[in-house]
Structure 1
Amino acid sequence: MVGLLRSLVRYGLVILVMGVLWKLAALAMGGVILPDPEDAVAALARAMTTQIFWEHFGVSLYRSVTAMGLAWIIAFPLGLVMGSVKRVDKLLAPFVFLTYPVPKIVLLPVFLLLLGLGDTSKIAMIALILGYQILVTTRDGVRSIHPKYFDSVRSLGGTSLDVLREVLLPAALPHGFTSLRLGTGVSVAVLFFVESFATSRGLGYMIMDAWGAMDYLTMFAGILGMSIMGAALYEIANVLERKACRWMFLRAKD
């Protein structure tokens, strides 16, 4: 409850500061292209009473959550294996680090050609970009474990399963969840980009469609909706991290 209250206060202060800056910018620009924040919020409130808005919101949420889950399911175990098994790391690390700097978003036309114009190509694009972040941070987290921790478990008769449970997972989970949590912003940004092409559903489409029609209030309603979704995904990832890595937060309290 205390953590929830702190999050609400933190978001409240951020919204207040951004609202003041937005208001000043709207006044400076005359309030035409950049509407007043209260007008944008009112437009969002009106949009939230319509079914079409929630259809766009639901599609975007589905794409983002599915992509994040897919990225985690594939990248976290692979990072765990690469960080703990030297032979696998020697085989895969060159490929990972040579392709990591390549901007994956340029592959979107290829994904659309191979996987079609539906949700599959968009989910795969987001999962690829986010998966690289999870993979690299998880692998580096495991590789940073001091050998004495392995020796301690093995000296007590621990099995490979014990090493996984008592050493590898506690070291890897914080890194994996941190990259997932910070990757929510990347996920939403990529989501907006992929929803700008070859689709008629999603908040990204809603924003670009309103922009093309010069309906700026609806455009900002979509932007606010996507921002709310991104903040919600961040907090969900934060809660998952606290649940999976309880020992870290208990130690921080001490």
Structure 2
Amino acid sequence: MNFKTIRQATGQLLIGLIGILIIWELLYLIIDKAVIPSPFTTIEQFFQDLPLLLPHISSSLYRIVIAIVISLLIGVPLGILIGVNKWCDRILSPILYMIYPIPKVAFLPVFMILYGLGDFSKIMLIIWIIVFQIILSVRDGISQIEPRYFQVMTSLYAGKWQSFRHLLFPAILPQILSGLRVCIGIALASLFFAENYATDYGLGYYIMNAWSTIDYPDMFCGILALCLLGYLLFKLIDGLEYLLVPWQRK
């Protein structure tokens, strides 16, 4: 990234932070109840509690990253298979359409029974939630490729690997990254729910523990940490898009 891009990203961050602080301060003044603490008091406490927050942040980040990597390893090949094979599309797409709308957080007790109370059951829940989004993003990316491009690759006697490298992968990469942005939001929401059960570390546990002790500034510190974690993951996706999809740079 050049200096101009870094400057724009820094400007966007500052605008976002200032906007959130203004809205937060207005809510604090209008509602005037302890449940919404002052943003400046919360930020001060956030830096004071940062050593306590870091283990919770790292635990949540670990679960999300592992789940996303495994989902990519499963979802991308399966999405390509459905996208290039019409018989697989006819058989598997109706199954995906039926499973995808189901509120999958309801399966957390099932995963806890099958895989125990540790990290694995929570990671499996996140995978179960986001892998379908990745499969459909890859399939849709392939379906948007114009048929004449395949004809060009055939006329050039390109093999399967060459077609994948020079046509399929560049075509589906923007869709994968867009799907990942959606998956991050879904993963954070699902993780917050999953970390309320049988765990001592994680931002979901930290927030609900502060809520149960009526420590609202501490609760908002956890919410702020969750927001920053999501922001960093989004910026990571933006950085990957800048590096891997240069033809879509503005």
Range class of TM-score, shorter chain: over 0.9
Per the TM alignment, residue 46 of structure 1 is displaced from its structure 2 partner at its CA by 0.5
**How many positions carry a matched residue from both structures?**
248
The whole-number CA distance in structure 2 between the counterparts of 1:212 and 1:142 is 48
**Does residue 119 of structure 2 align to residue 119 of structure 1?**
yes
Q: Residue 24 of structure 1 corresponds to which residue in structure 2?
A: 26
Q: Deviations over 1:84-113 (max 9, x none)?
A: 112222221121111111111111111111
Structure 1 window deviating more from structure 2 (57-66 vs 7-16): it is 7-16
The whole-number CA distance in structure 2 between the counterparts of 1:133 and 1:241 is 18
Q: Residue 11 of structure 1 corresponds to which residue in structure 2?
A: 13
**Does residue 159 of structure 2 align to residue 167 of structure 1?**
no
Code of the residue aligned with 1:42 in structure 2: it is E
**Does residue 69 of structure 2 align to residue 69 of structure 1?**
yes
Q: Deviations over 1:1-26 (max 9, x none)?
A: 32222122112112111211111111
**Does residue 99 of structure 2 align to residue 99 of structure 1?**
yes
The whole-number CA distance in structure 1 between the counterparts of 2:46 and 2:168 is 45
Q: Within 5 A, what are the aligned runs for 1:36-185?
A: 36-48=38-50, 50=51, 52-185=52-185
Q: Residue 241 of structure 1 corresponds to which residue in structure 2?
A: 241
The whole-number CA distance in structure 2 between the counterparts of 1:128 and 1:7 is 33
Code of the residue aligned with 2:122 in structure 1: it is K
Aligned-residue RMSD, C-alpha: 1.3
Code of the residue aligned with 1:23 in structure 2: it is E
Per the TM alignment, residue 145 of structure 1 is displaced from its structure 2 partner at its CA by 1.3
Per the TM alignment, residue 31 of structure 1 is displaced from its structure 2 partner at its CA by 4.6
Q: Contact 1:182/1:234 (CA < 8 Å) preserved in 2?
A: no
The whole-number CA distance in structure 2 between the counterparts of 1:67 and 1:38 is 34
Structure 1 window deviating more from structure 2 (181-190 vs 201-210): it is 181-190
The whole-number CA distance in structure 2 between the counterparts of 1:247 and 1:21 is 37
5+ unaligned residues in a row in structure 1: which ranges? Answer: none
Per the TM alignment, residue 246 of structure 1 is displaced from its structure 2 partner at its CA by 2.1
The whole-number CA distance in structure 2 between the counterparts of 1:244 and 1:135 is 20
Per the TM alignment, residue 187 of structure 1 is displaced from its structure 2 partner at its CA by 1.3
Q: Contact 1:181/1:238 (CA < 8 Å) preserved in 2?
A: no
Secondary structure of 1:166's partner? helix
5+ unaligned residues in a row in structure 2: which ranges? Answer: none
Structure 1 window deviating more from structure 2 (163-172 vs 209-218): it is 163-172
Percent identity (aligned): 35
The whole-number CA distance in structure 2 between the counterparts of 1:5 and 1:131 is 34
Q: Contact 1:44/1:221 (CA < 8 Å) preserved in 2?
A: yes
Q: Within 5 A, what are the aligned runs for 1:223-242?
A: 223-242=223-242
Q: Contact 1:137/1:179 (CA < 8 Å) preserved in 2?
A: yes
> Given the two structures, how large is their TM-score scaled by the length of structure 2?
0.95
Code of the residue aligned with 2:131 in structure 1: it is G
Q: Deviations over 1:190-239 (max 9, x none)?
A: 11111112211111101000000001111111111111111001111121
